[in-house]
Structures are given as C-alpha cells and as structure tokens.
Structure 1
Amino acid sequence: MNRTFGKKLSTSVTAAALMFGAGAFASQDELEPVLNAPSDKTLSYDWPMLKVGTGTYEEGPTGVTVFQFEEKALVAVDVRGGGPGTVNAPYMDLGYNYAELDTIVFSGGSWYGLEAVTAVATALKDDGIRDGNAFSLEPNIAMSVGSIIFDFGSRRLNEIYPDKRLAQAAFRAAKTGTFPLGAHGAGRFAKSGGFFGCNAFSGQGGAYREIDGVKIAAFVIANPYGAITRRDGSLAACYEAEGWPEGTLRTPDLMQGFPASRETGKSAAEDEAASSKNTTVSMIVTNQKMDPADLKRLAVQVHTSMARGIQPFATQYDGDVLYAVSTGELEEPKFYSPDLGVMASEVMWDALLASVPEQQKATTPDATVRHSAAELEAYAGDYHFSQFASLSISAEGGKLFAKASGKRKVYGIEHEQATELKPVSQGEFMVPGRYPLTLRFGQGGNLVINPGHWEQTGKRSPAR
C-alpha cells in the first residue's frame, strides 16, 4: 500500500468518527463502563467464596462477566465446537493437583475480547491481591482464564469490544450473592437459534442448588447457533418463519423436519442472515473437593448434557467451552462424580433457560399515520452508526426509503435496492419481515434502530 494513501485513509476515518459523534467513535477511551446494571430477573445465591461483576459498554452494546474466587480453586476445562477462543486452556488440561484459579472471565467482542481475561490477571497484581511469585510452596501468581463469544456481524452496527478498562472495572465491582440474568455482561448482545433462522435474543443465565451441604452453581453465556430448548421440547425463544405450524413450536419438529424447516421466503428485512459465528461459554462450580481427573469428567459430563438444552450443539460454527471448578470447601465428598454430574447437568439446564430475556416485539404499520412532504424531507439524510455502517434516507412520492451507504448492509437494508419504511407513528417507521426492524427519528439528528434494550444509534451527518 502507498504510505501516503494509507496515512490519508487513517486520518479521514478518525476525522469521520469524531464528526459523527454517538454513531461512531474515535477511541474507546470515550466510553463509560456501566457496572452491575440492574436486571428484571436476578439469581440469588448463598456462597461468599464466589463473587461476580458485570460491565458493559452500552454504545455497543457489549460486555464482560468476571467470576472471582476469594481463595484459589481447582479448575478443569472442556472445549468443543469449531471456533473456541480461550486463555490458558492448554495449561488447565495438564491436570495439576493444586488450586491455582483466581478468576474466570467471559467476554463479548470475539478474539478482541480476550484482552479482558489477561486484564483481570493484571488487576489482581496491581491491587496487591497476587504478586509474581510462582515458585513458593503456595504460588501467589494470578491465574485468570476465560473465553469469548462472537457478538459482531449482523447483530450490531459497530465493533466496540470489551477492553482492559472495562474488564478491570467489572472485576473491582464484583460482589457475592446476586447475578443478573438475561442480556447483561458478556451476554449483552447474545443471540440464539441462528441455525433455524430464529435470531432470538439471549444472554447470561445462572442457577444454584444446595443438596445435603453440597453447593452447585451454574453460569452460562448462551450465544448458540442451535436453538435453546425447554425440557418439554419447546423452543425457549424464536422469531418464527412464515409457514411454520401454529401453536407450540418444538425443537424436535424442526430437527426432524430439516432441511425443509429452514427453508423460507425472504423479504429485505428477513435477509438479515442469521449469524453463523456463535459460542456458548459456561461454568459449573461445586464446593465438594475433587481431584483433577474427577473434575475433568464432571466438565465433560455436564458439557455433553447441554446438547439437550441447545439443539444442535457444538457445531463447526460454535466455540463452546465449559469450566468446572471445585472450591474444595467441603473436604469429605458427598457424591460420586457421575452422581454429581447428573445434578450439575440439571442445574446447568436451569441456567441455560434463565439466560433467555423477554424478546423485542415488532411494531405494526399504521395506515392512518400521515407525514407531510416537509416532514419526510426533514428525515432525509445520511446517518452514520460507525465507520462500517451508514444509512441514506430519502423521501419520494410521499414515502420514505432507506439504503445502506456504508461498507455493510444494515439489518437487511441493502445497498442496491431502496427499502420502503412504513409509518408506525410520527417519526417512527418499520420494515415488515420476520425480525423486528423499527426506525425512530429523534431530536438532535439521531436515528435509532430497534429502540429499547438492543438499540443502535446513528448520527446524522451535517448537510453540505
């Protein structure tokens, strides 16, 4: 590449990011971490040894979930699927029989989010909790492990990722006893069921049981290519395709009816292309003391059981990873490893179901809503969501139209063919299709797509 051209390109992108404000950004240093955000649904658990902190960048939105153990714990890992992203997985597989684990970190942002894992390790050192001594009888060096999910692609219109600053803030905000369920932390923009085109919103789930003094906790960031399935076989969440049978939709019916169950006609909005890059990362924790071999088998058994709650599971396009942790507080084992595995598997299924938030509802066009020509012209312009995604809005013949004008299409709105926006209310429009696609023009020149918990905000560029 010509060096001068490369320099000019970099400068122009940065200038554009500064100009477009909320819809794009020049540096993640401008973003404000949101820590332990309140949730409509929360898991309560009684386990002082285990603390959890969540952090998000709402501009993404994307986030990180940090699990901290007050004393070092023993850990094993089971890795499946075709695209895992982990830190320190090979070391865990060596099976050393002493406790070294301090934290497990789950993050959005694909491989960029792995920065969050090592950032928590340095926070442990910087805060004086651990040091660099790895050679004493009881090593005091920080051990942080973790995994990422893919939350880019068609689901959000920017490439903000959980970074060192966000991860360390979430770690320092960690507390025990509560865990927010749904679209929070690393699960802030997770989705499920892309295999069948469901594209349902997902998130992080947790469940906890205590049986005869044995504590079992399960945590999961559910972002699977397969569909999350209840114990009765019904889909936990799905944006259903036209032509699917009415009534309770069951995953076994979709599996048995494949590939016909995935073949549907596509409108512009439906061509949002289900994400084919997914991952479910999870953790099972018990206070029962276990040796490395038993802990490894627990990881394998529980991970295998998750194929009941996610169908299909561990595909080429998933990067599934499960961590099994023993805090060793209960010295005398109460259950054999297979028995503990059965109970832990059920707790994990509970956690998986708890990850599903209330789904975003599609708006309905209203034929009685009228916009004057002047109002429609006022909405026309270019709206920038990031240096990758922009929309060009135009008014013609008493109607409003949208075209993608950046490098990528915008939720099924293409570059070549204009998509008509149907009025819903004053300043609000929608595109019919399988998935919710609402556009709201607001004050200050903003355009919000799918207003609400997963909204994407674009800034209008100045008129020339």
Structure 2
Amino acid sequence: MKLWASALLTLAVATSTNASSLFDIQGLAIGQASDVNGLTGVTVLRFDKGATAGVDVRGAAPGTRETDLLKPENLVDKVHAIVLSGGSAFGLDSMSGVVKYLEEQKIGFDTGVAYVPIVTGAVLFDLGLGDAKARPDLAMGYAAAKGANRDAMQEGNVGAGTGASVGKIAGMSRATKSGIGRYSVTLDNGLVVGAVVAVNAWGDVVDGKQTIAGTRSEDGKTFISGTDLIMAGANAEGFAGRNTTIGAIVTNAKLTKSQALKLAQMGHDGYARAIRPVHSMYDGDTLFAAGTGEIEVSNINSVGVIAAEVVEQAIYRAVQHAQAAGGLPAASDLTD
C-alpha cells in the first residue's frame, strides 16, 4: 500500500500533463516522414548524446532491430535513436537511413576509426491500407532523422501512424483509422515522463468499458466490442504480424539498463488498459523506454506508474487525432 500511495502522491504534484512537455527533455528531438498517398511513414526519436534504453516485447509477431543489445547483460548502454516505422519488415530499411544521417553528423559510438550510431526500433504492419508497395525506405528514414526537431510533433495520420488502424477482429473492412499519439507529465522536481505510441492494434481502443475506436458494426456506423465477438465464437481474422502497437517511453531520469527494462515492462500496463484484446498472436506489441540522465530518481516504481499513465493517454490521443483515410473512418467520424 505504501508503494502505490507514494506513486499516487507523486502524480498529484505534477505541474503539467500534456503533449508538448516532451521537449522539456533536453536530449530528445523528434522527426517524422509520411507518405500520405501510400499511407505509411516513419517516426524517429533522436538522442544525439545517447540515452540509456530498454525494450519489452509482448506481442507474438514483432519486427525489430538491435533489441538484443538493450538487454541489461549486454555491453552497449546508450542508443542514439529509436525508430518507429510502418511497412512491416520492409520498414526496417528506414532505420539504415537514420544510421546514415547520424554517421554523417558524427553522432554515434566513437570506435576511433568511425562513428557507429546505435539505432534500435520496431515496425508495424500497415500494408493492408493504402499502397502495399509503399514502404518506409532508407531515404524516408534519412529525411525523418534530418528533420528531427525540438519544436513540435504532429499526431494522428503522420509518421509511423500514417497507415495505422485498429479494431480488425471482424476484418479490415470494419476497422477504424488510427494514428500516432504523444503524452507527457512534468513534476515539480523537473522530472519528465512522456510516451510516443503508434497504435495499429488488432483489438479495440477502450476507455474503461467504452470503445472509443475499433471494431465497427456491420453497417459501419457504430462501434461494437471485438472481445464480445470472440467470446461469442467469432473466428479471429488476420495472420501473425498483421497488426502491432509500437511506442517509446522517454524520460529525463537517470536510468540503468535494468531500470529502463522495468520501465518498459510497467509501461505495457498502459497498453493493456487502453487496448482490448492486446498482446495477441496477431500483434507484435513492442515498447521501448529511454532515459537521458538529467534527473536522479530514487523510486523507479513511481516513474513506472507514471509511464503506464502516459502510454495509455498517448494511445487515446493517437485515435482521437486520426483522420479518415484508405476507406476507413476515424473515431471522430462516428462520435461527432
């Protein structure tokens, strides 16, 4: 009880809870590139001075790059970019573009003979919306890395969220357009905890018992519960890896690799609160966590509680800011 009471007290003294305070994290810049016709894109979180990172993969069909090096027992303890990309496995190519740009800027691990940028990331499957031949490639990853800034980050149908959708239990034709969202909390002591999440779930996005984006009725005009369909005996539609929610928790806290891993693990609670069902055989749900080391923290549990909250809110913002595309309506089209 004391642990949770302490965490809730910490939340109570937050000075701000919004999207823009992400850039109170001094070591973070964000860039995005989008193909609005092909409906795919890439989002790059740059850490030019490096950030300690961890990752937790809960879905059964992930597509990732360089996640093994984030394990606490492995040598490398800093990453220079986390990439969230559309394009399924093809989107992994975009991360090579991020590496190329960072090397040109002499950002990376200095080996004495070359700078080697440490770039990790994950992809989501958006080939079922828009043009399946449109994929985030090296050039798109390069452009997103080059365009990274500390001024603004758009939400909705941009970056890794350009071709995202949710609620595919009854098939793609009854899904809802989704996108990418962000949310952050700033405490009185200067600690910032934020999240960026691209929501491309097989399941529905829910707030409590209310579906706010997801599986639509046969006439397409209202939301119905995909979970109820499954419990009533509906055959699940899809195949492994066709969905996936990917995201990153970012904080200015000083973290060890083990603490970054724990933060990613606790952050998945935000996935579970906001997406139902989640972590299925059809999803490759992946969540990174990175700390830039500006603020000392004494209670990683409290940071983890906040992390789950900001992940949940980022998911809601992803569907709230999405717009109709690829023949799918957005949540706002059904709730207005």
TM-score (normalizing by structure 2): 0.81
Q: CA deviation at 1:59?
A: 2.9
- Over the aligned positions, Cα root-mean-square deviation in angstroms equals 2.9
Q: CA deviation at 1:225?
A: 0.6
Structure 2 equivalent of residue 329 of structure 1: 294
Alignment of 1:351 with 2:329, yes or no, is: no
Structure 2 CA distance for partners of 1:90 and 1:177, relative to 1, 3 Å = same
Q: After the TM superposition, which residues 412-423 of structure 1 pair with which residues of structure 2 at under 5 Å, given as runs?
A: none
Q: CA deviation at 1:318?
A: 0.6
Paired residue type of 2:204: A
Residue correspondences, number: 304
Q: Secondary structure at the match of 1:229?
A: strand
Q: CA deviation at 1:93?
A: 1.4
Q: CA deviation at 1:111?
A: 0.5
Q: CA deviation at 1:292?
A: 1.8
Q: CA deviation at 1:126?
A: 2.0
Q: CA deviation at 1:97?
A: 7.3
Aligned residues of 1:103 and 1:144 also touching (Cα < 8 A):
yes
Q: Secondary structure at the match of 1:194?
A: coil
Q: CA deviation at 1:257?
A: 5.8
Alignment of 1:360 with 2:313, yes or no, is: no
Supply the distance in 2 between the matched residues of 1:189 and 1:314 (Cα, whole angstroms). Answer: 20
Supply the distance in 2 between the matched residues of 1:359 and 1:199 (Cα, whole angstroms). Answer: 13
Supply the distance in 2 between the matched residues of 1:77 and 1:103 (Cα, whole angstroms). Answer: 13
Paired residue type of 1:189: G
Structure 2 equivalent of residue 428 of structure 1: none
Supply the distance in 2 between the matched residues of 1:217 and 1:326 (Cα, whole angstroms). Answer: 11
Question: Could you tell which deviates more after superposition, 144-153 or 352-361?
Answer: 352-361
Q: Secondary structure at the match of 2:273?
A: coil
Q: CA deviation at 1:261?
A: 7.9
Supply the distance in 1 between the matched residues of 2:47 and 2:82 (Cα, whole angstroms). Answer: 9
Structure 2 equivalent of residue 184 of structure 1: 158
Structure 2 CA distance for partners of 1:189 and 1:148, relative to 1, 3 Å = same
Structure 1 equivalent of residue 230 of structure 2: 258
Q: CA deviation at 1:182?
A: 0.7
Output one character per residue of 1:62-82: Cα deviation in whole Å (capped at 9) or x when no partner.
111111013111011111212
Of residues 200, 205, 212 in structure 2, which corresponds to 1:236? 212
Structure 1 equivalent of residue 254 of structure 2: 289
Structure 1 equivalent of residue 48 of structure 2: 70
Q: Secondary structure at the match of 1:347?
A: helix
Aligned residues of 2:86 and 2:160 also touching (Cα < 8 A):
yes
| Relative contact order higher in (CA < 8 Å, ≥ 6 apart) | 2
Structure 2 CA distance for partners of 1:257 and 1:152, relative to 1, 3 Å = closer
Of residues 306, 314, 323 in structure 1, which corresponds to 2:271? 306
Question: Which 4+ runs in 1 deviate beyond 6 A?
Answer: 273-276
Supply the distance in 2 between the matched residues of 1:129 and 1:257 (Cα, whole angstroms). Answer: 50
Aligned residues of 1:97 and 1:291 also touching (Cα < 8 A):
no
Alignment of 1:174 with 2:148, yes or no, is: yes
Output one character per residue of 1:91-125: Cα deviation in whole Å (capped at 9) or x when no partner.
11144576421001111111111011122112111
Q: Which runs of 5+ in 2 are unaligned?
A: 1-17, 330-336
Alignment of 1:114 with 2:114, yes or no, is: no
Of residues 141, 161, 164 in structure 1, which corresponds to 2:135? 161
Structure 2 CA distance for partners of 1:163 and 1:157, relative to 1, 3 Å = closer
Alignment of 1:87 with 2:75, yes or no, is: no
Supply the distance in 2 between the matched residues of 1:94 and 1:236 (Cα, whole angstroms). Answer: 37
Supply the distance in 2 between the matched residues of 1:59 and 1:281 (Cα, whole angstroms). Answer: 22
Supply the distance in 2 between the matched residues of 1:58 and 1:242 (Cα, whole angstroms). Answer: 28
Q: CA deviation at 1:228?
A: 0.9
Q: CA deviation at 1:128?
A: 2.9
Structure 2 equivalent of residue 210 of structure 1: 186
Paired residue type of 2:49: E
Higher Cα radius of gyration: 1
Output one character per residue of 1:30-61: Cα deviation in whole Å (capped at 9) or x when no partner.
xxxxxxxxxxxx94223332111110123312
Structure 1 equivalent of residue 176 of structure 2: 200
Aligned residues of 1:68 and 1:104 also touching (Cα < 8 A):
yes
Output one character per residue of 1:155-192: Cα deviation in whole Å (capped at 9) or x when no partner.
22441101111110111111113211111111101000
Aligned residues of 1:76 and 1:95 also touching (Cα < 8 A):
no
Q: After the TM superposition, which residues 146-157 of structure 1 pair with which residues of structure 2 at under 5 Å, given as runs?
A: 146-153=121-128, 155-157=129-131
Q: CA deviation at 1:343?
A: 1.1
Structure 2 CA distance for partners of 1:260 and 1:90, relative to 1, 3 Å = same
Q: CA deviation at 1:196?
A: 4.3
Aligned residues of 2:252 and 2:293 also touching (Cα < 8 A):
yes
Supply the distance in 1 between the matched residues of 2:305 and 2:224 (Cα, whole angstroms). Answer: 24
Supply the distance in 2 between the matched residues of 1:176 and 1:279 (Cα, whole angstroms). Answer: 27
| Identical amino acids, percent of aligned pairs | 31
Alignment of 1:338 with 2:289, yes or no, is: no
Aligned residues of 2:199 and 2:246 also touching (Cα < 8 A):
yes
Supply the distance in 1 between the matched residues of 2:243 and 2:313 (Cα, whole angstroms). Answer: 20
Q: Which runs of 5+ in 1 are unaligned?
A: 1-41, 264-272, 362-409, 412-434, 437-464
Supply the distance in 2 between the matched residues of 1:177 and 1:217 (Cα, whole angstroms). Answer: 15
Supply the distance in 2 between the matched residues of 1:329 and 1:95 (Cα, whole angstroms). Answer: 23
